[in-house]
Amino acid sequence: MLKRAEEIFDQLVAWRRDFHAHPELGFQETCTAAQVAEVVEGLGYRVCTGVGRTGVVAERGEGSPIVAIRADMDALPIHEANDVPYASRVPGVMHACGHDAHTAIALGVATLLAAEEFPGTVRFLFQPSEERGDEEGISGAPRMVEDGAMEGVDAALALHVRANLPVGDISVEAGPVSAGVDTFRAAILGQGGHGAYPHLLVDPIYIAGHVILALNGIVSRRLSPTVPAVVSIGAIHGGSACNVIPERVEITGTIRFMSQAVREQIYAEIARAFEMARTMGGDFELEIEPGGLPMVNDAAVVGLIRQVAADLLGSEHVLEQEVTMGAEDFGVFSALAPGAMFRLGCRIEGDERKGHNPRFDIDERCLPIGAAILTEAALRLLKGGGKKQESRGRN
| 3-state SS, residue 343 | strand
Distance between CA atoms of residues 254 and 251, nearest Å: 11
Nearest to 377 by CA among 316, 320, 308, 281: 308
Helix, strand, coil percent values for the chain (each to nearest 5): 35, 30, 35
Q: Please give, one letter per residue, the 3-state secondary structure of 126-185.
A: EECCCCCCCCCCCCHHHHHHHCCCCCCCCEEEEEEEEEEEECCCEECCCEEEEEEEEEEE
Distance between CA atoms of residues 351 and 367, nearest Å: 18
Tell me the sheet residues that pair with 244: 194
What is the phi-psi region of residue 120: left when phi exceeds 0, alpha when psi lies from -120 to 50, beta otherwise? Answer: left
275 is catalytic: no
Q: Which of 29, 72, 80, 130 is catalytic?
A: 130
Nearest to 295 by CA among 387, 391, 390, 173: 173
**Continuous segment of H or E residues that includes residue 270:** helix 260-279
Distance between CA atoms of residues 45 and 51, nearest Å: 16
Q: Parallel, antiparallel, or unpaired for β 318-319 and 170-171?
A: parallel
Distance between CA atoms of residues 182 and 193, nearest Å: 34
Residue 89 CB-half CA count within 13 A: 7
Q: Specify the length of the chain in residues.
A: 395
Q: Which of 24, 72, 74, 173 is catalytic?
A: 74
41 is catalytic: no
Residues that are catalytic: 74, 130
